[in-house]
Chain A
């Protein structure tokens, strides 16, 4: 029995044991599975949080800067231009002693420059004194800081290249941050930051108690680490699961990274405001955004304000709710005093200070969309879009804010005056301005609404260039000094060209008139079509094409004679490139919008250097420049002097296509080259010519800028002679019809009409004048 029982007993015991062990096994298994799941979850969370941490730590949009303003004795700038430039770079009118302020009385400026790390070296902090008189800098001196005869102001930031989630930041490093910021932050948000392991149970308990009392979540009790984790995922809902996840991820973060790494990332990550559709993350950018100053220059009360805003960036927005913001700031200040970070005196003094927030964000969205568009296209040659969005590159462009401002004003003010009714509505314009000798693009306007980031006509509107092509035909001819000079007589007479297939072509002058024999220089300055076609056919279309290609045309050029009247479609920027060679006496200078690109640590990545390439004989170009100056003085461009001073010598060329569909003007002074286009997007007709459409825009821009007149240095192989063009002879300076004309040496007329033959006549005319 016992045997039988025993086995039963025995069997029951093991059963019990089996039951018990089954339970434990189940528990063990469940626990194991749970642990595995938890471990898996932890691994997952770990992967999520570390990748976020690593990714965010370094994801910084690229910054685009205008060219820095160079200040030195003789620098060309107007007093109002300098003031505007300073505002744009985030300087405030003030005593000129505090860094980042300037003091102006009339033309006298005292500027306390911040200093800036340029790709080629540091521009240290300096106090500068100067006088702007006659649109020039005078009496330039350095009052404090290393002496130098020339100083660059920090460049204005004109835009950024943002990642798709449109977060912006200015990366700061912990060691660059004012000490008070992290310390104050810990006093307010997380006193045990350096002790806890990511979560602080004590504060959580305290917060929970408060929450239970209030019946809702009123307190966070989050550590800085938890706040950082929360910031990574951008959702504001506070469920328990989320809280748990946050806590786990915080612990994981602490396990992986040093406290200082976490603190630095927090400083760069925390959400502090909103600018349109972009969020303001990190103290570096917030400092720029609210005060227009770098973090390292902030005062105690400014730091306190930023710390206070962490709790509720929109609730404590100092621009929208200044009183709330000030109360919060003052609370932070007294807490900081209580914690011994600042003295009671300091705190009291800081509390008396106003908020000191700049009136408008010093930092606006891309305000020059057309220009930035061209910059991006140039960058796309060497950089990937992802890198531009996330690597924090610094892009130093050639944009000149004064020239850009003048260009936008010129289009805005001039365009409505050019036409009436529907045409006025439909009229569009584009303007490109470059520095004549460097090829740097100083300004670009892509349409009549410069702030509209749409169709960029300056770069994309490909239109027939009309008479703008003529200087190149004339250059081809004048390069053959044995056949053509500026005074060669050309027939201004109609003719018919018959093609092989029997079609006929009859070019006409714009005014329909014919003038017979006209000296070559006048046919260009008055833009007569018939002589231009005759000359072009004489030197040969292939030769003209060759010149155009040498000067930068890359698109196919028609073989038909109609190309001699501008049946070649180019964009305004293409035309600017083409005319650069004419303006610089035959040296092609590639247009540039970018000087340099560096990475976030100021290591140079690319330099886009000045390049010159001689594409034509400077002597022949000098002759074309002569006729292009004549265009402005007595030819189709003379109406420019309605708005420009006589002393400003200029050279240029008008262009008009059939029925005024395109109105062009391309021209240059000593310093600037500009191309203006006016027309309709639908390519419809207008009543405009180059002189009545594009030229007023061009002149309105030029009239706003101080600059040198155009006066080319006489190149090797050129000599000026007084000549009588009608007689094809050299003559004396005082003789009738005498004109001082440049010739390639050896091509000047051989015979001379001395004044002897005309002496009597000159006396007679004297007397005629006396006795009339």
Chain B
């Protein structure tokens, strides 16, 4: 361990000597102080805070990612090129320890820079939004709706398996589906339709959803919803919301007119949130015209239960960013071990881009046919190219998919809780699994490379 720490110490000293740290600190300070002066929110206090936090920390993360990749590549490749590494490899140090030392050095530097940036951003946020600069309404909005950390609860899953089976049976009996349509596709379509039905409310109709009670709550929950309507364009639809706990709760009822496509918020009073058991939420469509209101089953109805303070959430979000930087450090050091500096930089940047577009890759890999979407599938040469591209995208997805993780800044700025389990999973996947694999590859290659041989 001492050897690793010694190499890490040398890496940090080298970085300090090359003025990299000072320059980065300057750039970060410039970004943190300069960006809030130029960014514009939507005119609301919540918008201002979200844009400030999201853009400033996002740019800090981006700059640190690029710097980490560059520094990681340089840490080994330049030392090999300039033969400085001879001084280390001729000592009784394992190649894996060299890698680990370089990685640890970068990680410590990143942690320090991120802590500095986080502290400045938080200070700036508090200073620009101190109580005397806000109206009492803005202050309450900030405290109760914006700077919060909530557990997000989705409606309890609907038990529609029996209905799906019954419909499938009816379809089979009626021979209503052509033979060349796979049964899985029919089942998927039926399930989707039933699910959409369960989240749609006809004019004059009502639906109820159940939300499990959150394990920990520090304040009455908020209810966020967004619906689409059967009419074209934004439509204002009146509706009655009723929220009640399963036991001992005072029912809370309100009539609101909301616009389709718009994210809406419903504050649940403390007396309605008191009591025990799950939350039962009912919506009645009071529209005077025949409009169907549909909520997205994935994120159309969300119960936000405040579970922790904003500050703790902020720190966890920074730690999640640090985990990502740890992975980039591993990637940079590995690329530097494998290639010369220019090639290593190029490979690292490509890898960074691949990770950034991993969501797109995932969506492509999920398709049945890439070039030809005909239901009978491609034939001949088209089939060959289709299979080839499909395999390539699936392979890419297998590698970069797990790195997608979650976006800590999205959660932080929208008031969602960054949980320790999320953080743990990011640490395990990006730090341990991918980092460990990269270290193994790097150590193996460095062992194979002929370094410090007598010339």
- Do A and B make up one complex? no
